[in-house]
């Protein structure tokens, strides 16, 4: 039997989970971070495209919860566990958190990439989920594709080619 | 204006006029620089969520060349001057008189990089000064930054400020275009994205009040 595999596209401020043989993809990560959590025994994985580090600073509460690290993480974890992943088997990979614009300003938003990465590290530690590999920082945009079968994360860039982590 | 979805036709007309005045001034500046006739499009006012915005510019991993700046002052916001790679090639060719230039060399050619940055600087500066005169609102641009990369990577970082409390942005999009019949057409898009709290100030300055 041949399994047809599908590419599940994850938008900006979006969370999706899927199972083998599908792959997960999100495009154009700049300061945003793509976080993959996967259970390679159950062959289930989820990807969150995270824009901002912290939902608690938002002034309004009718926001898309998938855009903040803390709430997106919660949703991702919940969706994985309810689809049959085991928390003890979960591992993480992440990419993104770049700083596209080099200039100085009064603006803490220009450090948004670093703050996203830091927020995710804290969440992973808190949940005892090991971070297997990462490709973060720098000043380049990234498109990432996660292959559930091999647990490899492919990272495509405009100027520095493609690699797998 | 706390709720951007409450914009009525008068508000949209005002935003369109802002695009007209700003881009009109920028088109004149580019026309003077290149000694060519430059036309501009009727501004499009779009209320888009972030994923729609990416589709609007051709998809999240489309390669774009962008001059980005933040507007500081009484009505803060974000501005992008966006060129496609091919348009960048032809603009640089005209600016530095080198017909063999292609955008792939942009990052390794300081003269080209600086020429495009300066064009972005001049055009966005003339856009903003027209806007500032028209509204009597003090607007100071930050030093513009030139980046060539994936559209989503660039635009989302520029939108980080807006996104903290909003899931969509109001885009005032104006295109300027050189209209002389030649193979080297240049089209550039201005995206002006006022921060949500700036709309009230802009509308008040122009005599449009909320009910």
Instruction: Assign residue A59 the CATH number of its domain.
Output: 3.30.1330.200
| Residue B105 covered by a domain | yes
Asked if residue A34 is part of any domain, the answer here is: yes
**Residue A32 designated active-site:** yes
Give the range of the structural domain holding residue A74, as residue numbers without chain letter.
Answer: 7-164
Q: How many domains does one find in chain A?
A: 1
Mutate to test the interface with B, among A63, A64, A109, A117 (most CBs of B within 10 A): A109
**B210 falls within a domain:** no
Residue B86 located in a structural domain: yes
Query: What is the average pLDDT across B4-10?
Result: 72
Indicate the pairing of strand A23-29 with strand A7-9.
parallel
pLDDT given at position A110 = 65
B196 lies in some domain: yes
Among residues A10, A32, A94, A112, the one annotated as catalytic is A32
* Angstrom distance (rounded) from CA B19 to CA B88: 22
Residue B35 has pLDDT above 90, yes or no: no
In a domain, B211, yes or no: no
Contacts of A143 in chain B (CB under 8 A): 60-61, 150
Q: How far apart are the CA of A88 and the nearest CA of chain B, in angstroms?
A: 33
pLDDT top residue among B91 and A130: A130
* pTM of the shown model: 0.86
pLDDT, chain B, mean: 83
Residue B77: CATH number of its domain: 3.40.1550.10
User: What integer best gives the mean pLDDT of chain A?
Assistant: 89
In a domain, A2, yes or no: no
**pLDDT, position B5:** 62
Over the stretch A53-101, which tens digit does the pLDDT of each residue have?
988 877 766 678 899 999 999 999 999 999 999 999 999 999 999 988 8
Residue A18 lies in a domain: yes
How many domains, chain B?
Answer: 1
* H or E stretch at A151: none
| pLDDT tens digits, one per residue of B147-198 | 999 999 999 888 887 787 778 788 888 877 776 655 556 678 888 888 888 8
The reported pLDDT for the residue numbered A111 is 83
Edge to edge, the sheet with strand A162-164 lists A7-9, A23-29, A142-147, A152-156, A162-164
Structural domain of residue B31, as residue ranges? 6-205
pLDDT attached to residue B103: 87
ipTM for the predicted complex comes to: 0.84
Residue B1 — very low, low, confident or very high, per pLDDT cuts 50/70/90?
very low
Which residue from A41, A118, A31, A122 is spatially nearest to A80, judged by alpha carbons? A41
Q: Do the domain assignments include residue A49?
A: yes
């Amino acid at each position: 039997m041949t399994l047809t595999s599908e590419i599940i596209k994850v938008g900006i401020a979006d969370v999706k989970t899927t199972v083998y043989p599908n792959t997960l993809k999100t495009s154009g990560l700049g300061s945003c971070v793509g976080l993959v959590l996967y259970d390679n025994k159950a062959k289930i994985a989820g990807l969150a495209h995270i824009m901002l580090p912290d939902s608690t600073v938002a002034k309004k509460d009718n926001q898309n919860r998938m855009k903040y690290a803390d709430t997106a993480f919660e949703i991702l974890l919940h969706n994985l566990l309810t689809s049959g992943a085991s928390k003890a088997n979960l591992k993480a990979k992440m990419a993104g958190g770049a700083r596209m614009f080099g200039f100085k300003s009064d603006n803490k938003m220009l450090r948004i990439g670093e703050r996203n990465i830091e927020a995710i590290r804290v969440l992973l530690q808190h949940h005892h989920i090991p971070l297997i590999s990462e490709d973060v920082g720098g000043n380049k945009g990234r498109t990432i594709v996660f292959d559930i079968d091999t647990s490899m994360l492919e990272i495509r860039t405009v100027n520095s080619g493609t690699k797998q982590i | 204006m706390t709720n951007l979805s409450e914009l009525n036709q008068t508000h949209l007309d005002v935003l369109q006029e802002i695009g007209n005045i700003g881009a009109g001034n920028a088109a004149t500046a580019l026309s003077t620089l290149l000694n060519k006739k430059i036309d501009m499009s009727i501004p499009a006012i779009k209320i888009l969520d972030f994923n729609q915005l990416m589709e609007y510019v051709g998809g999240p991993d489309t390669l774009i060349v962008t001059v980005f700046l933040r507007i500081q002052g009484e009505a803060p916001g974000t501005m992008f001057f966006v060129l496609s790679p091919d348009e960048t090639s032809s603009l640089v060719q005209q600016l530095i008189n080198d017909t063999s230039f292609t955008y792939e060399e942009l990052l390794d050619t300081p003269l080209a990089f600086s020429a495009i940055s300066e064009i972005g600087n001049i055009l966005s500066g003339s856009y903003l000064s027209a806007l500032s005169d028209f509204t009597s609102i003090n607007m100071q641009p930050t030093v513009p930054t030139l980046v060539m990369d994936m559209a989503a990577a660039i635009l989302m970082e520029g939108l980080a400020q807006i996104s903290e409390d909003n899931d969509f942005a109001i885009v005032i999009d104006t295109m300027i275009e050189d209209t002389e019949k030649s193979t080297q057409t240049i089209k550039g898009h201005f995206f002006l994205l006022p921060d949500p709290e700036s709309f009230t100030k802009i509308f008040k300055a122009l005599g449009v009040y909320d009910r």
